[in-house]
């Protein structure tokens, strides 16, 4: 086993070059703070026309403040939503209320702002600002593994600029808000696991003192809360099969205990709002989309989560290209770089390959090859794989989007793996790794620009 977590300085013996030496001398909090400030500016300026057309969670927050668990629907401002399940009366007539299919945590996060600004709450801008803070949490999390400061900074910037998080911040509508709310909670759970792996590894007796480990209970609590925004992340609990120190049984008992608290609350809330233990609006949404989008290939006889959807969604996640030389309107129009009527190259709204939009994820490969015995690597790959599998089984691939938005569900587990992969490369290959991060950022910039051009 090659330990990735240890006190003191990195094990790399190569002398630091002058820029790296300067970077190492700057306090971590200053570096992380600078990254957050940079992203606050970039994310805030990435979309100056935030129309808030899809603000399901704002409507939910207003309903709570009015003493209801369901939202007024259809109502002016949400009557064009096709994913709200109308609540019917005993005679089958509409009651003027509707049930959202989405877990409620994002609405709870927006509630203080909704209490002040009501339906005028700019949820899209708040999502952008929160996304910048997410990257700060990621920088803090990466501080729990033994890597060079330059690696830690580069990997953090990869998350902020080289993944679909940038696009999420630029859009900020309902579906992206859910991802942004879940991310810091999952990152926090991973950080606790990494910290416990280091502490218990130094003091084996620390893993034997209690039946449960309070920090890991907290990690489970964060993971359970995250599932109240993005349900697939719950499978990330498999991370603690490997990471967290002490015995596996103790780790899992601790995480399960913590996760059970918000999950019981979620089930109770769902029952109170719908009369069912599992939200019936999911099935309603599925049936609506099967009929509304035949071009997406949804199969009504299949379930919402069905293994038969995996091959198609996996092809989108890994292989889907952009649209090259699409038809022009009018047909003889000259082509332009960002001309939506006649472009040379335009993103495919159904999704695009992560190998094209975030190629720096390839940095996980050297870590897998060289350090599979490291629990951080094995745990990250297994947890990310299980979360990704559940997402791939989902009937929807996440559209309208740039890249593959469901990748944000498993990004927290693979980010430390990518960091270890980058840090273990030779100087020449590290430059290649930095180049992959730069290419990822340019690809995401291209997607953000096209978002504005296409009005997505």
* Cα angle, residue 420 at apex, residues 426 and 422 outer, rounded to 5°: 40
Packing angle of the helix pair 149-162, 28-45 (nearest 10 deg):
20
pLDDT computed for residue 13 by the predictor = 43
**What is the C-alpha separation between 434 and 336, in angstroms, rounded?**
30
**What is the C-alpha separation between 53 and 324, in angstroms, rounded?**
30
| Structural domain includes residue 333 | yes
**What is the C-alpha separation between 416 and 422, in angstroms, rounded?**
10
Question: Tokens representing 452?
Answer: 């504005």
pLDDT computed for residue 11 by the predictor = 42
**What is the C-alpha separation between 68 and 77, in angstroms, rounded?**
18
pLDDT computed for residue 198 by the predictor = 83
Instruction: List residues bridging with 71 in a β-sheet.
Output: 98
* Alpha helix positions (H), 143-277: 149-162, 165-171, 174-202, 214-227, 248-274
| Structural domain includes residue 155 | yes
**Residues in the chain, overall count:** 456
Rounded alpha-carbon distances, angstroms, from residue 20 to 153, 160, 303, 358, 426: 11, 21, 52, 25, 15
Instruction: List residues bridging with 394 in a β-sheet.
Output: 305
The pLDDT profile of the chain, 456 residues, written as one tens digit per residue, is: 445 654 433 444 455 566 777 777 788 899 999 999 999 999 999 999 999 999 999 999 999 999 999 999 999 999 999 999 999 999 889 999 999 999 999 999 999 999 999 999 999 999 999 999 999 999 999 999 999 999 999 999 999 999 999 999 999 999 999 999 999 999 999 999 999 988 865 555 555 556 889 999 999 999 999 999 999 999 999 999 999 988 899 999 999 999 999 999 999 999 999 999 999 999 999 998 898 888 888 998 999 999 999 999 999 999 999 999 999 999 889 999 999 999 999 999 999 999 999 999 999 999 999 999 999 999 999 999 999 999 999 999 887 999 999 999 999 999 999 999 999 999 999 999 999 999 999 999 999 999 999 988
| Structural domain includes residue 70 | no
* Cα angle, residue 158 at apex, residues 223 and 310 outer, rounded to 5°: 60
pLDDT computed for residue 212 by the predictor = 86
Rounded alpha-carbon distances, angstroms, from residue 304 to 58, 102, 284, 394: 26, 14, 10, 6
**What is the C-alpha separation between 450 and 58, in angstroms, rounded?**
27
Q: Measure CA 393 to chain center.
A: 17
| Structural domain includes residue 111 | no
| Structural domain includes residue 377 | yes
**What is the C-alpha separation between 21 and 269, in angstroms, rounded?**
52
**What is the C-alpha separation between 386 and 107, in angstroms, rounded?**
27
Burial of residue 310, with CB atoms counted within 10 A of its CB: 0-12 exposed, 13-18 middle, 19 or more buried = middle
- Which contiguous run of DSSP H or E holds residue 282? helix 281-292
**Helix/strand/coil for 12:** coil
Q: Is the pTM of this model over 0.75?
A: yes
| Structural domain includes residue 284 | yes
pLDDT computed for residue 389 by the predictor = 98
Instruction: List residues bridging with 343 in a β-sheet.
Output: 336
Instruction: List residues bridging with 97 in a β-sheet.
Output: 72
* Alpha helix positions (H), 394-423: 407-423
What are phi and psi for residue 96, nearest 5 degrees?
85, 10
What range defines the domain where residue 40 resides?
Answer: 18-52+122-454
The answer to whether residues 388 and 406 touch, using CB atoms and an 8 Å cutoff, is yes
| Structural domain includes residue 398 | yes
* Cα angle, residue 192 at apex, residues 188 and 196 outer, rounded to 5°: 170
Packing angle of the helix pair 123-142, 105-117 (nearest 10 deg):
130
* Alpha helix positions (H), 293-426: 310-319, 354-357, 364-371, 375-393, 407-423
| Structural domain includes residue 106 | no
**Cis previous bond, 393, omega within 30:** no
The answer to whether residues 157 and 32 touch, using CB atoms and an 8 Å cutoff, is no
pLDDT computed for residue 25 by the predictor = 79
Question: Tokens representing 239?
Answer: 């991370």
Based on the structure, what is the number of domains in the chain? Answer: 1
């Amino acid at each position: 086993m090659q330990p990735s977590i240890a006190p003191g300085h990195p094990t790399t013996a190569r002398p630091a070059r002058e820029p790296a030496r300067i970077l190492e001398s700057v306090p971590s909090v200053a570096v992380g703070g600078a990254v957050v400030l940079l992203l606050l500016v970039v994310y805030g300026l990435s979309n100056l026309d935030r129309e808030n057309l899809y603000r399901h969670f704002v409507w939910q927050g207003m309903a709570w403040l009015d003493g209801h668990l369901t939202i007024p629907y259809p109502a002016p401002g949400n009557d064009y939503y096709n994913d709200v399940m109308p609540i019917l009366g005993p005679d089958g007539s509409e009651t003027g209320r509707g049930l959202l299919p989405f877990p409620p945590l994002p609405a709870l996060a927006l509630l203080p702002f909704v209490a002040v600004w009501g339906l005028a709450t700019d949820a899209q801008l708040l999502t952008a600002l929160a996304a910048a803070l997410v990257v700060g949490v990621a920088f803090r999390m990466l501080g729990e593994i033994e890597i060079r400061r330059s690696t830690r900074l580069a990997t953090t910037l990869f998350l902020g600029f080289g993944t679909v998080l940038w696009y999420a911040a630029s859009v900020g509508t309902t579906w992206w808000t859910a991802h942004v709310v879940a991310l810091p909670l999952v990152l926090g759970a991973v950080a606790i696991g990494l910290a416990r792996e280091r502490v218990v590894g130094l003091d084996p007796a620390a893993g034997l003192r209690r039946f449960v480990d309070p920090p890991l209970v907290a990690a489970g609590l964060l993971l359970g809360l995250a599932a109240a925004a993005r349900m697939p992340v719950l499978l990330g609990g498999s991370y603690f099969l490997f990471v967290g120190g002490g015995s596996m049984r103790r780790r899992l008992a601790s995480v399960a205990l913590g996760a059970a608290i918000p999950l019981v609350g979620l089930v109770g809330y769902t029952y109170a709002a719908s009369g069912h233990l599992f939200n019936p609006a999911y099935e309603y949404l599925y049936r609506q989309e099967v009929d509304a989008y035949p071009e997406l290939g949804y199969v009504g006889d299949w379930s919402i989560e069905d293994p038969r959807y995996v091959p198609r969604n996996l092809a989108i996640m890994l292989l889907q290209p952009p649209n090259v030389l699409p038809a022009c309107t009018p047909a003889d129009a000259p082509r332009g770089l960002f001309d939506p009527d006649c472009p040379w190259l335009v993103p495919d709204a159904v999704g695009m390959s992560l190998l094209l939009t975030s190629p720096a994820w390839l940095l996980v490969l050297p870590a897998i090859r060289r350090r599979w015995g490291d629990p951080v690597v094995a745990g990250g790959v297994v947890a990310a794989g299980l979360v990704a599998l559940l997402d791939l089984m989902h009937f929807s691939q996440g559209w309208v989007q740039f890249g593959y938005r469901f990748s944000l569900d498993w990004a927290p587990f693979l980010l430390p793996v990518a960091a270890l992969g980058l840090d273990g490369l030779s100087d020449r290959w590290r430059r290649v790794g930095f180049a992959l991060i730069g290419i990822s950022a340019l690809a995401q910039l291209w997607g953000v620009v096209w978002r504005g051009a296409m009005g997505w």
